[in-house]
Amino acid sequence: MFRVILHLDMDAFYASVEQRDDPALRGRPVIVGAPPSQRGVVCAASYEARRHGVRSAMPSSTAGRLCPEGIFVRPRMDHYREESHRIMSLMAEATAAIEPMSIDEAYLDLSARCQGADADDSLDLSVPVARQLKQRIREERRLTATIGIASNKLLAKIASDHQKPDGLTLVREREKVAFLRPLPVRTLFGVGRVTEQTLAAEGIRTVGDLQDYTGNLRPLVGSFAAKLRQFAFGVDDRPLDFDSPIKSVSGEETFLEDTEDRKILRACLREQARDIAGRLKRERLAAHTVQVKVRYSDFKTLTRQITLEEPLVDSEQIYRMGCFLLGRDKLVSRPLRLLGLGVSGLRESTREQLMLL
């Protein structure tokens, strides 16, 4: 059976929901997050705001300086999750097996539904299905989605990033090597910032450079060498995962003595962030939600979290979000017995995540 995989990614999801619900926001630079006059960060930004350089995880004060005309809207996570459930239901009606990746994206396996004479014929049969799905989302949810279609997850994901917003890109088997050649090597699944720098030192900056490289990749990327070479030629045999075992990654520390010493608490958060980022890197995951947990001497326990539209993977990003949550809600108003840091809303990491400014 020929594989037919779709990757559907909603366009600027949080901000688009806000623009849909409030017609006065349409075409305006919408920034989902705390206002710039308050301590907060950007959870999401519309395309109009992104043109000014506004990005997720950026301090709201910085976003306000970059985009003075920006309209700040408080995030409504329950509302976004409800909208996500409705969109996932529309995907399910396409008679496809679905692997949700986050609140606003998913893989669909149309292999059983779209079978033609050969692989490319099968892929072509999926285009009307994808168009119909996009149309239903537009008409029934008044939102837009971008879809990538290919024979595997790697190519489908890259294709969905190719023509945003409201795009539809099909990568046929006979075209995949040429399609990949001009793209930055960082585009490939599993290539992070460090790997990108290592490859660049060898003159490998594009996927085409990687395709043409005749040397041994193992000294450069270790055991990832064989898989990386396969990815460079558009080969990816990863199945859709319908029961992902990893839902969250976290760590916590109980102090020998209750403390409110900021230096000790920051060092604790930083170490936990490093451990979490290391796990994410090994599993090639990124996280949408960061959570802190505190416990006081009377065993009262509080948790606070924040969810961003663009996922985080870097330890410094996770650490700063943890510090932000502690400060925003004044959780260190008295000595802590325990401090914990965690991430959830996990998805595969395929490209460099934005650093906090």
How far apart, in whole angstroms, are the C-alpha atoms of residue 172 and residue 128?
Answer: 15
Q: 255: buried, middle or exposed (CB in 10 Å: 19+, 13-18, 0-12)?
A: middle
As a whole number of Å, the end-to-end CA separation of the chain is 47
- Report whether the peptide linkage leading into residue 219 is cis, meaning its omega lies within 30 degrees of zero: no
Place of tokens 């997720």: 56
Please report, as a single letter, which amino acid is at residue 334: R
- DSSP at 59: B
Amino acid, res. 351: R
What is the enclosing helix (H) or strand (E) of 8? strand 5-10
Angle between helices 315-328 and 262-283 (to 10 degrees): 140
Q: Quick one: tokens of 139?
A: 């008409």
Query: Do the beta carbons of residue 289 and residue 306 sit within 8 Å?
Result: yes
Annotated catalytic residue 105: yes
Q: One of 105, 173, 309, 348 is an active-site residue; which one?
A: 105
Residues annotated catalytic, as ranges:
105
